Amino acid sequence: MPKYQKVKRLFSFNNLKILKSQKFGYEGVILHLAPFNLSGWNVCPKASEGCIKGCLNTSGLGQLNSVQKSRINKTKYLRFDRQLFLEQLDKEISNGIIRAKKKNKIFCVRLNGTSDLSWEKFKVRDNKTLFELYPDTIFYDYSKNYHRFKNNLPKNYHITFSLAEDNLDIAKQIIKETKRNVAVVFKKHLPKKFLGRNVLNGDIHDLRFLDKPNSIIGLRFKGNKKELENNNFVINL
| pLDDT on residue 224 | 66
The pLDDT of residue 128 is above 90: yes
| pLDDT on residue 18 | 79
What confidence category does residue 15 fall into, taking pLDDT thresholds of 50, 70 and 90?
A: confident
**What average pLDDT does range 23-35 have in this prediction?**
95
What confidence category does residue 95 fall into, taking pLDDT thresholds of 50, 70 and 90?
A: very high
pLDDT tens, position by position, 32-64: 999 999 999 999 999 999 898 888 787 777 678
CB 175 within 8 A of CB 182: yes
Closest CA to 57 of 35, 30, 79: 35
Residues contacting 232, CB < 8 A, separation 6+:
50, 165
Task: Say what the pTM is.
Answer: 0.94
Q: What span, in angstroms and rounded, lies between the C-alpha atoms of 177 and 147? A: 15
| pLDDT, the chain, mean | 93
Strands 182-186 and 157-162: parallel
What confidence category does residue 228 fall into, taking pLDDT thresholds of 50, 70 and 90?
A: low
The pLDDT of residue 232 is above 70: yes
What confidence category does residue 112 fall into, taking pLDDT thresholds of 50, 70 and 90?
A: very high
Distance of CA 229 to the CA centre of its chain: 24
| pLDDT on residue 227 | 64
Higher local confidence (pLDDT), 111 or 67: 111
Residues contacting 42, CB < 8 A, separation 6+:
36
**What average pLDDT does range 198-219 have in this prediction?**
97
**What average pLDDT does range 86-104 have in this prediction?**
97
Closest CA to 155 of 173, 177, 175, 129: 129
What confidence category does residue 213 fall into, taking pLDDT thresholds of 50, 70 and 90?
A: very high
What confidence category does residue 19 fall into, taking pLDDT thresholds of 50, 70 and 90?
A: confident
The pLDDT of residue 231 is above 90: no
